[in-house]
Structure 1
Amino acid sequence: MRAFLKVSIAMAIVGHVSIFAEGQPNFIIIYADDMGYGDLGCYGAEGYETPELDRMAKQGIRFTDFSTSSSVCTPSRAGLLTGRFAQRWGHDNKVYFPHSKGGMPPSEITIAELLKEKGYQTALIGKWHLGHRAKFLPTAQGFDLYYGIPYSNDMWQAPETPLADNIVFNEGMTRENYLEGGKKKYHNQVPLMAGTEVIEWPVDQATLTKRYTEKAQAFITVNKEQPFFLYLAHAMPHVPLYATEEFKGKTERGLYGDVIEELDWSVGQILNTLKKNGLDKNTLVIFTSDNGPYLGGKEHGGSSGPLRDGKFTAYEGGCRVPCIAWQPGTVPAGVECDVQTSTLDLFPTFAALADVAVPSDRPIDGLDIRSLLKGDFKNIPERDWYLYRGQAIRVGDWKYVYDKKRDQLFNLAEDVGEKKNLAKQYPEKTEALAKRLAEVQSELSGTK
């Protein structure tokens, strides 16, 4: 398995050996929605610019082999927050809808719940998508503050969700309209929630990125004297696309480029807020995406770069996403890391950094990657296997995909675009990985 870091010349000369800041570090996860591997300037994007994220990468670590736990929203977000594949609690790799009655079980332990044990203030600003009913909402899963839409921005309203007394109805809507419910009539018109109530319907999506950013800045400022965990889960660039007037029509790439540039602006605002409050050196910021691009969106969809396919698939374009880690003076600057890493790893890593024990009563699929974040290039964590959407498995650089009733085998070190099927050339390797995939599927379905 490949396991090395490309270190900047300046870093190599200095010999970076820093450790994480004393005391309790703050944590921020900025999660884009449907952003592809090739959608940032530092990952090869063209037609628009991402100067803030490119600068973040120059000041931190840019991961080139970082994957989500699934190529669709719900299981991906569950994996991020729990460090576990969602199949372990019976999820089927689909997404929840406004008519869905289920959600991630309250028995699952999130990063927020873990950090609450150490006195952290916690906030989710943005998309949840792990169940919109009261017992599944963020406020029941360790988050002190919740402000956002409960599922994807292309959905509709769930009429059973309580409305705030002072709810704002936009576009001539009324309480009666809301209670009618229904996808056909109110498609793409989603509610904005605060806590457990709807405070605006339908939310003005053109202002979401800006409003989420301002809410995040306020949370950081209010909690600057105590440890905090902020999960900023943007609605964009999931379709339908929206941007404020300030950003619309700015790029050669059209609305998609405009949306990405506004997300880039948002990241800059968050980092500047940390610096202004003297929190930059004690806050670990992770920027990544929930899955690969929605290629069906055509000009409204993103790019997988050199990777095969996108959202919904088990190929690299579905699960491998951009990821940047930033904490000046602690996370080494100018580093490119191609060690296989994952959103699953954030749960055990944050736990270790906050000095809180990982639950021992359940399997955790993520790895502690503190060594990488510290610039330790000798003690590199390696995983036994990695699952993609329940139908592909990776062991080292070898990846087996079972698609359309045919075996596919790829060597990602030599063929990251998964263009050359080696199944016939390496039948024993193919058979071994097919067997391992079946074993893992059985193991996951048998755990809770």
Structure 2
Amino acid sequence: MVSWVRAIALIGTIVPLLSSAGLVQASSSRFPVYRAELSQVSSIKPLARPDRVVAETLVQVAASNSAFQRWVDGFRGRAVAQGISGQVFDRAFRGVDYNTDVIKKDRNQSEYTKQIWDYLDSAASPTRIKNGKSALREHSRVLNAIEAKYGVDKEVVAAVWGLESAYGEFKGDIPTIEALATLAYDGRRGKFFEGQLVDALRILQAGDVSAKGMTGSWAGAMGHTQFIPSSYLAYAVDFTGDGKRDIWSKNPADALASTAAYLARFGWVKGQPWGVEVRLPRGFNYGLANRKIKKMPSDWASLGVRDVSGSAVPNYGSASILLPAGSSGAAFMIFKNFSVIERYNVADAYVIGVGHLSDRLKGRPAIQANWPRGYKPLSFNEKKEMQRRLTRLGFLDDKVDGIIGPNTINAIRAFQAKKGVTPDGYPSEELLKLLKGR
């Protein structure tokens, strides 16, 4: 849980085409199988015979696995030095290999990102709402007890569960030790994943789960609500009282309580909403729609900001105005609990998804504003180009990474204000054209 690990889940998917190598995906399963296909290609270079393609692939995998096993041998000493017993280590790594599927998933950065309205269509789909209400009924006793103990709305806990694993249906079946070891060996974020791997071994050493039972996503997130090992060690709880913090089993009690405990630990305010959809008045100063600017709802009301029914938002606490799709989409007044959910996943779309799904599970209406669904999203490379141009013009002093964070949004606002257009901070095609001087 937490950090970029699940923020990746918000990115749209592009399936890699390997036709240039004569390889075509022959399965849509979690572990894609590629078959050789003698198809017509633009290159006049002859395709390798299918048996040669397979043979070369097997040789590459074998070579990678050999180097991986040498890395495991070296890692064993580092793990033992951090308190992991040799017996626990050897048992955990029995049968563990270099997992090429994990590496493919790690390196398959999508070219196009999913727009927030598309994400919310899925996050709060009729099926997810229906299944969530069913889960609330089925687990009402434990969810009521969790809410009473931690002060976190049971619908919010259920919404996290719904987005992370579809209420336990898709917890992930990749062996966590193998996934983390592969990523630690691969080296791109080796230090982070090696730390998570040591923590996973600590979990095994504590006896909460067996190595066989410790499964999850390709990135090492585990159980019903997808905790990464370090978060598990810090925040997971034994709600059932059986002596184990079991977030993997069919019984979701420990996982749901752990999620509530996590949110409570980061300051969940009981009785406060995550956010409220609002309407902005004509002539609203969009420079005020900034996470750093906080006002009481009564002060926002004096500026003409009201809920969708036209009423002033109750004084739940200081709040900011968030425009996830710029001036053309929905506007939200967000409170501290928005930032608390953000500790689970930093993406605005995820936080709004959890919040809105929890609202729907409470019987509240769908988002009322219309989204600008006709807009074409910027590609990953276009976002980087936009950042480079903002940097060259002196508006952005940050890394060019294609990620639209607060610094990029503020840079966009500053550029928009200078150009005399609505400073809503939204990265659109029109903005990129303006940056190009068109």
With CA pairs under 8 Å and 6+ residues apart, which has the higher RCO, 1 or 2? Answer: 1
TM-score range, shorter chain: under 0.3
Tell me the TM-score normalized by structure 1: 0.25
Tell me the TM-score normalized by structure 2: 0.25
Write 1 or 2 for the structure with the bigger share of helix: 2
Larger radius of gyration: 2
Write 1 or 2 for the structure with the bigger share of strand: 1
